[in-house]
């Protein structure tokens, strides 16, 4: 059960002491407001603040602080007043309840997940109706598998779709800044694996590159001049200064295909010489970085 802060409790007590308006007074104030009297509108809003509280309390189990729900409902009163038509015979509270509830539900959905889900305009329906239906069937049937089968049939969803929706309903987004437990000084983000490589990985990579450079120098001693040229100016060259096979073929007086064959031969020799250091599949991937 959510514990309300003292300020919210005091506010709820205060608005319940505000005098309500009679139908006749409300009608007169509404007419004055529509004629441009802002003070009349303020009196209507003030007298109806009490109606926001029970709606906010109804949805407090969804994890949003009651104070925030009330604040959102109060803003909804302003929206309702802008569209209120007293000549229709409705009391303002009856008309405003729709706006209060709609805005409170929208706030819950926004705070529950930053990522869109559900099915467009049906999202509130999926969130609240499916949650209630799931709880009711769980009480009746008791078997989780049967509950999901029944829900999937009624809502015309595949088991996979239903599973994803239920998972979203039961697990709202969590802030990475939130503590891992109440009172803890360690946040969720502190426990997440970093996307950056660890210092140990970086050190191991640097050592591998140093060893690779030394091994390449030894391996290059067994290459003929043309093969060493291909190694230096193509396989280990920066992308901006790398020689193309066509250019190498022109320099050696051979075709592009023959230059490709020479390059392939160099690669085979290097794989054989460096396999003990990196493994055959990793040799070429590390040459450009070496």
> For residue 237, what pLDDT is reported?
73
> For residue 18, what pLDDT is reported?
92
| C-alpha to C-alpha distance for 280 and 290, rounded to whole angstroms | 16
**Residues 33-62 pLDDT 10s:** 999 999 999 999 999 999 999 999 988 887
| C-alpha to C-alpha distance for 269 and 280, rounded to whole angstroms | 11
| C-alpha to C-alpha distance for 106 and 113, rounded to whole angstroms | 11
> In terms of Cα–Cα distance, which of 67, 65, 32 is closest to 52?
67
* 3-state secondary structure labels for all residues of the chain: CCCCCHHHHHHHHHHHCCCCCCHHHHHHHHHHHHCCCHHHHHHHHHHHHHHHHHHHHHCHHHCCCHHHHHHHHHHHHHHHHHHCCHHHCCCHHHHHHHHHHHHHHHHHHHHHCCCCCCCHHHHHHHHHHHHHHHHHHHHHHCCHHHHHHHHHHHHCCCHHHHHHHHHHHHCCCCCCCCECCCCCCCECHHHCCCCCCCHHHHHHHHHHHHHHHHHHHHHHCCCCHHHHHHHHHHHCCCCCCCCCHHHHHHHHCCCHHHHHHHHHHHHHHHHHHHHHHHCCCCHHHHHCCC
Contact 290, 213 (CB under 8 A): yes
Contacts of residue 83, defined as CB under 8 A and 6 or more positions apart, other chains included, come to: none
> For residue 21, what pLDDT is reported?
93
Number of other CB atoms surrounding residue 145 within 10 Å: 9
Compute the CA torsion angle 25, 28, 34, 38 (nearest 10 deg). Answer: -50
Express as a percent the part of the chain with pLDDT over 70: 67
First to last CA, the chain: 60
Q: Which CATH class is domain 6-112?
A: mainly alpha
> For residue 76, what pLDDT is reported?
92
> For residue 185, what pLDDT is reported?
66
Query: pLDDT per position in the chain (290 positions), as tens?
Result: 567 788 989 999 999 999 999 999 999 999 999 999 999 999 999 999 999 999 999 888 877 889 999 999 999 999 899 888 888 888 999 999 988 988 888 887 777 654 444 444 345 555 667 667 777 777 777 777 777 777 777 767 777 777 766 666 555 555 556 666 666 666 655 665 555 555 666 666 666 666 666 767 777 777 788 888 888 888 777 777 788 888 888 888 888 888 888 888 888 877 777 665 555 555 555 554 44
| C-alpha to C-alpha distance for 108 and 63, rounded to whole angstroms | 8
> For residue 122, what pLDDT is reported?
41
């Amino acid at each position: 059960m959510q514990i309300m802060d003292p300020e919210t409790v005091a506010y709820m007590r205060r608005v319940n002491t505000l005098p309500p308006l009679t139908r006749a007074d409300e009608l007169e104030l509404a007419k004055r407001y529509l004629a441009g009297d802002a003070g009349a509108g303020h009196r209507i809003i003030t007298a109806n603040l009490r109606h926001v509280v029970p709606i906010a309390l109804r949805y407090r189990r969804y994890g949003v602080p009651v104070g925030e729900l009330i604040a959102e409902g109060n803003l909804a009163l302003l929206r309702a007043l802008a569209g209120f038509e007293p000549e229709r015979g409705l009391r303002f509270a009856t008309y405003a309840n729709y706006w209060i509830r709609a805005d409170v539900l929208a706030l819950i959905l926004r705070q529950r997940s930053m990522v869109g889900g559900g099915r467009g305009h049906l999202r509130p329906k999926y969130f609240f109706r499916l949650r209630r239906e799931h709880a009711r069937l769980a009480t009746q049937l008791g078997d989780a598998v049967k509950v999901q089968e029944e829900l999937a049939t009624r809502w015309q969803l595949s088991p996979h779709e239903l599973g994803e929706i239920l998972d979203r309903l039961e697990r709202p987004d969590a802030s990475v800044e939130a503590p891992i437990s109440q009172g803890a000084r360690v946040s969720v983000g502190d426990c997440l694996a970093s996307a950056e490589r660890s210092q140990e990985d970086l050190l191991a990579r640097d050592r591998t590159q140093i060893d690779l450079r030394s091994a390449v120098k030894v391996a290059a001693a067994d290459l003929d001049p043309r093969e060493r040229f291909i190694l230096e100016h193509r396989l280990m060259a920066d992308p901006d200064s790398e020689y193309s096979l066509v250019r190498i073929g022109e320099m050696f007086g051979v075709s592009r295909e023959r230059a490709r064959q020479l390059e392939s031969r160099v690669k085979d020799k290097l794989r054989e010489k460096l396999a003990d250091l990196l493994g055959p599949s990793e040799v070429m991937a590390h040459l450009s970085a070496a």
